């Protein structure tokens, strides 16, 4: 087997320089790096990670456990993480947990036994106490943890602030009858009512378009307490709370509603058909604030199927900033997340855990965002 020393000798550099070049570290000059890479290719060199780990206790590997890569938010986060991790001289191993509790438990329990020096995870079924018990001190950074206790370094999307910005944008465009789409897990919450309780398991209420009347963030306290140690809907509840709060602040709680739907494009299409049926029955909404871009793109298609125009009849906003929103017809106004910033923050949190003086006090950081104003909320000429 070809060794690193042989690659270094062929390239005319020291082994440390050869190692830095192969790991993409910035201290190696571009022409030197090119020479090392050419030598490695000619010698068919493959790094022996196990040997490196035995010698130094370091592997140069980090792992990321994500529910799935088929959903745009997750796939874009994975892409940003890969780029950032590699820029810092590490390799990233991706694991999909498929929203499954047992898979999350397996990934966490095996974290210390793998070659990975640290674990990034976006948990959907486990709370912080379970995660702490399973990782047993292994360097861990979380994504999307909105629990009240800060046990781990965490990077969150701007769930509440982003949705609030989208609703304020719609109100600024003169929209007063706003439907918040995908605001609750199907069959879990339902449409918000003035009683302070959410209409769980009541798809019928959502279908009739019953409006949200003066609900506050407190409406969801009971539901969020149940989820606090489960994590499956924390981001969703952050967005729900923000939507209820800002609708109340704007005085739109009596004319607006929240309707459940699947968080995919098919859910958006189905919801648009329901809104079209409500419009024919005399209950018309002039804006749809969607919990993600997939829903929004489906809503645009579904409204077109029903003969409703976007934005003339109904304005639509999304959340995520997926590329498809830039070439839909009409183009989609959305909350664009700073995926690169999320990745950079998470990697910095991980790296500060290494070395002779690791930082152990956990912190929680919320990523930035920007409103991309496009055709789906344009003011009619």
Compare 227 and 25 and report the one with higher pLDDT.
25
| pLDDT tens for each residue of 121-155 | 999 888 889 999 998 888 999 999 888 888 899 99
Please tell me the distance from the alpha carbon of residue 334 to that of residue 169, in angstroms, as a whole number.
10
Which pLDDT score is estimated for 62?
Answer: 94
Which pLDDT score is estimated for 236?
Answer: 81
**In which band, very low, low, confident or very high, does the pLDDT at 361 lie, cut at 50, 70 and 90?**
confident
**Per-domain boundaries in the chain:** 4-47, 59-157+339-369, 159-336+371-377
Which pLDDT score is estimated for 115?
Answer: 75
pLDDT beyond 50 at 185? no
Percent of the chain residues topping a pLDDT of 90: 53
Please, where are the H alpha helices in 138-190? 159-172
pLDDT beyond 60 at 294? yes
pLDDT beyond 80 at 273? yes
Angle, helices 265-280/293-305, rounded to nearest 10 degrees? 40
Confidence (pTM): 0.75
pLDDT beyond 50 at 191? no
pLDDT beyond 90 at 177? yes
Please tell me the distance from the alpha carbon of residue 79 to that of residue 340, in angstroms, as a whole number.
9
Compute the average pLDDT of residues 286-314: 97
Of the listed ranges 79-83, 85-89, 148-152, 164-168, the least confidently predicted one is 148-152
Q: Do domains 59-157+339-369 and 159-336+371-377 have the same CATH topology?
A: yes
Of the listed ranges 20-34, 256-270, 357-371, the least confidently predicted one is 20-34
Please tell me the distance from the alpha carbon of residue 262 to that of residue 253, in angstroms, as a whole number.
23
Strands 369-372 and 333-337: antiparallel
Of the listed ranges 20-24, 225-229, 230-234, 311-315, the least confidently predicted one is 225-229
Residues 6+ apart with CB under 8 A from 285: 177, 178, 179, 209, 256, 257, 275, 278, 279, 314
Please tell me the distance from the alpha carbon of residue 17 to that of residue 296, in angstroms, as a whole number.
50
With CA atoms as reference, report the closest residue to 177 among 270, 285, 87: 285
Which pLDDT score is estimated for 180?
Answer: 96
How is domain 159-336+371-377 classified at the CATH fold level? Answer: Rossmann fold (3.40.50)
Instruction: Identify the architecture of domain 59-157+339-369 in CATH.
Output: 3-Layer(aba) Sandwich (3.40)
Structure token digits, residue 206:
């959502």
pLDDT beyond 60 at 190? no
User: Taking all residues of the chain, what is their mean pLDDT, rounded to a whole number?
Assistant: 82
Compute the average pLDDT of residues 250-261: 90
Which pLDDT score is estimated for 184?
Answer: 60
**In which band, very low, low, confident or very high, does the pLDDT at 197 lie, cut at 50, 70 and 90?**
very low
Compute the average pLDDT of residues 352-374: 88
Of the listed ranges 111-120, 326-335, 367-376, the least confidently predicted one is 111-120
Please tell me the distance from the alpha carbon of residue 366 to that of residue 161, in angstroms, as a whole number.
10
pLDDT beyond 90 at 250? yes
pLDDT beyond 80 at 359? no
pLDDT beyond 80 at 351? yes
Q: Of the ranges 36-40, 199-203, 234-238, 373-377, which is most confident?
A: 373-377
| pLDDT tens for each residue of 54-72 | 455 567 889 999 999 988 8
Which pLDDT score is estimated for 43?
Answer: 86
């Amino acid at each position: 087997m070809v060794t690193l020393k042989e690659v270094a000798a062929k390239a005319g550099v020291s082994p440390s320089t050869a190692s830095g070049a192969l790991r993409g570290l910035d201290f190696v000059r571009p022409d030197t790096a090119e020479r090392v890479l050419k030598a490695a290719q000619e010698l068919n060199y493959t790094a022996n990670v196990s040997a490196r780990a035995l010698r130094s206790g370091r592997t140069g590997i980090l792992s990321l456990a994500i529910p799935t890569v088929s959903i745009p938010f997750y796939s874009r986060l994975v892409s940003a993480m890969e780029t950032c991790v590699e820029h810092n001289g590490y390799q990233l191993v991706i694991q999909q947990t498929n929203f499954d509790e047992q898979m999350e438990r397996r990934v966490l329990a095996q974290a210390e036994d793998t070659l990975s020096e640290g674990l990034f995870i976006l948990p959907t079924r486990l709370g912080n106490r379970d995660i702490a018990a399973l990782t047993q001190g292994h360097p861990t950074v979380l994504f999307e943890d909105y629990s009240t206790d800060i046990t781990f370094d965490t990077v969150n999307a701007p769930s509440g602030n982003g949705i609030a910005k989208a609703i304020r944008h719609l109100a600024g465009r003169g929209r007063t009858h706003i439907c918040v789409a995908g605001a609750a897990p199907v069959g879990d919450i339902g449409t918000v009512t003035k009683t302070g309780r959410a209409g769980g398991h009541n798809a019928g209420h959502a279908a009739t378009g019953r409006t949200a009347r003066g609900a506050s963030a407190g409406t969801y306290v009971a539901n969020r307490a149940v989820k606090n140690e489960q994590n499956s809907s924390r981001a969703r509840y952050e967005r729900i709370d923000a939507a209820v709060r800002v609708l109340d602040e704007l005085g739109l709680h009596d004319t607006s509603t929240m309707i459940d739907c699947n968080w995919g494009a098919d859910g958006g299409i189905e919801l648009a058909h329901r809104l079209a049926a409500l419009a024919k029955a005399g209950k018309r909404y002039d804006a749809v604030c969607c919990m993600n871009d997939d829903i929004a793109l489906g809503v645009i298609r579904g409204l077109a199927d029903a003969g409703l125009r976007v934005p003339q009849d109904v304005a639509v906003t999304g959340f995520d900033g997926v590329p498809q929103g830039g070439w839909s017809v009409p183009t989609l106004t959305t909350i664009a997340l700073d995926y690169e910033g999320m990745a950079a923050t998470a990697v910095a949190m991980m790296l500060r855990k290494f070395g002779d003086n690791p930082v152990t006090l956990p912190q929680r950081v919320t990523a930035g965002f920007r409103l991309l104003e496009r055709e789906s909320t344009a003011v009619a000429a």
